[in-house]
Amino acid sequence: MKISDIQSLDQFTCVQSEYADAEVSSGYTSDLLSDVMAHADEGSVLITIQAHKNTVAVSSLAGVVAIIICNNRPIADDVLEAAASEGIAIFQTAENQFQTSSLIAQHLAGCPAA
């Protein structure tokens, strides 16, 4: 699965599109940034409600290639600028973290829901 595959899903709106169309190898769901630093895989997509610059900084350190902000949390311009400078895609969704994690897992497994 690539980042552009996430962008093509109806549930997500790409709000920061200055990224390389990297391969997404896994997903990680957490709101605790120290947990993300310790456990998110390189090449993963982070599913969270944390919509601030520290989320981008931690994602960059962990090698996360995209961030999905759930529950339609607002995302400030400085967050989008930081993500653009790091080449990390940011998506926004009305879905909660459980629904988003399930959808991403299905697509990573190659069996998207109908």
Residue 114 lies in a domain: no
DSSP E strands in 1-114: the ranges are: 13-16, 26-29, 44-48, 66-69, 89-92
Domain harbouring 49, CATH code: 3.40.1390.20
If you search the block for the tokens 């769901």, which residue do you land on?
29
Residue 113 lies in a domain: no
Mean pLDDT of all residues in 62-84: 97
Task: Determine the structural domain holding residue 104 and report its residue range.
Answer: 3-108
pLDDT score at 101? 97
Residue 40 lies in a domain: yes
Q: How does residue 113 score in pLDDT terms, banded at 50, 70 and 90? A: low
Domain total in the chain:
1
Digit-coded pLDDT (tens) for 93-112:
999 999 999 999 999 998 77
What backbone torsions phi and psi does residue 100 show, to the nearest 5 degrees?
A: -65, -45
Residue 49 lies in a domain: yes
pLDDT score at 36? 98
pLDDT for 68 beyond 70: yes
Digit-coded pLDDT (tens) for 21-66:
999 999 999 999 999 999 999 999 999 999 999 999 999 999 999 9
